[in-house]
Amino acid sequence: MPVQALFKPFHLGALELPTRVVMAPMTRSFSPGGVPNSKVIEYYRRRAAAGVGLIITEGTTVGHIASNGYPNVPQFFGDAPLAGWKKVVDAVHAEGGKIVPQLWHVGSVRRIGTEPDASVPGYGPSEKLKDGQVVVHGMTKQDIQDVIAAFAQAAKDAQSIGMDGVEIHGAHGYLVDQFFWEGSNQRTDEYGGNLANRSRFAIELIQAVRAAVGEGFPIIFRFSQWKQQDYTARLVQTPEALGEFLKPLSDAGVDIFHCSTRRFWEPEFEGSELNLAGWTRKLTGKPTITVGSVGLDGEFLQFMVNTDKVAQPASLENLLERLNKEEFDLVAVGRALLVDPDWALKVREGREQDILPFSREALMTLV
């Protein structure tokens, strides 16, 4: 199967990508003090230089006291982090690539003791107590407005430093997703109850981001059925329910849906070969990004524990077939790109035998 489909340009309004290869957002924790440094700049520059059309940065925290959950994660607020990101943007653009930040709030995943202010608990849709102590602060309506404002400000800042759009992280059991999910959203006000109400926070957030950046600045929205806390979770069980869930998000201002799955080749619903990105494109008419173990023979959960397993490069035939059929528009590559900055170039030149395998050790360095 010829690989050309991956290397055709993609156009959406003012967004022009040289290839269909997207770098998936992957938390790397190499930004002490929340500031992307020269190693981070070089990390992204190398991928753009080797033919990645769109880089979605690692998750970057918005300007809210509880947005961060991990050490050395980059911020997307404050003078020094934004100046660092501006250098990343300039380096990627100099190589002909495009880049968007993934805007992130971890929500109730945050633990007391986490930087920058160790006294701040996680924030989530519903309060959680442990031994009489608040470990998750149940968000008030004012808190909701504060977080929405932080996302809108981050999007505006992204636009002002020359980013090519933004991605809102609405997946994997973090804050936006916690509102979607009945297990974590027990609210009794207009932000809780049925899925339409549980989507209200995300809809208002997307609308605020759109208002902040105006028309024509791309908004990508990442969502997932599975959660970090539950890999078998399903937000919706049928294509009809998926359509009902996605339409209000689409109408609120999403330009591209980033459909997170663990294995891109798995059908989303019985009776159809379409994956989550395929269904999303069919139901919304919006472009979609597929993701999930692209280019590797082992999916990522095997590497979340100490292991000496190695994921070898895998055939792209199934992927290319689906891309040629326009099941989805763009392909996000995660670990294969994390370990090998030249992955796209090697695929393009037919040098699959030179692609580096992925092992857990790759997470320890930034190459």
The radius of gyration of the chain from alpha carbons, rounded to an integer in Å, stands at: 19
What does each C-alpha distance from 132 to 127, 129, 136, 250, 349 come to in angstroms?
12, 6, 12, 41, 60
Q: Is 191 a catalytic residue?
A: no
| Beta strands, E only, 32-170 | 54-61, 98-104, 122-124, 128-130, 133-138, 166-169
The DSSP code for 313 is: B
Phi-psi region of 229 (alpha: psi -120 to 50; beta: other; left: phi over 0): alpha
Q: Residue 290's beta-bridge partner residues?
A: 259, 331
Structure-token pair, residue 172: 């994997």
Nearest to 224, CA basis, from 194, 187, 197, 263: 263
CB 57 within 8 A of CB 25: yes
**Which member of 123, 174, 191, 231 is catalytic?**
174
The whole-angstrom separation of Cα 59 and Cα 101 is 7
Q: Where does residue 2 rank: exposed (0-12), middle (13-18), buried (19+ CB within 10 A)?
A: exposed
What does each C-alpha distance from 143 to 61, 66, 107, 285 come to in angstroms?
16, 10, 12, 33
- Active-site positions read 174
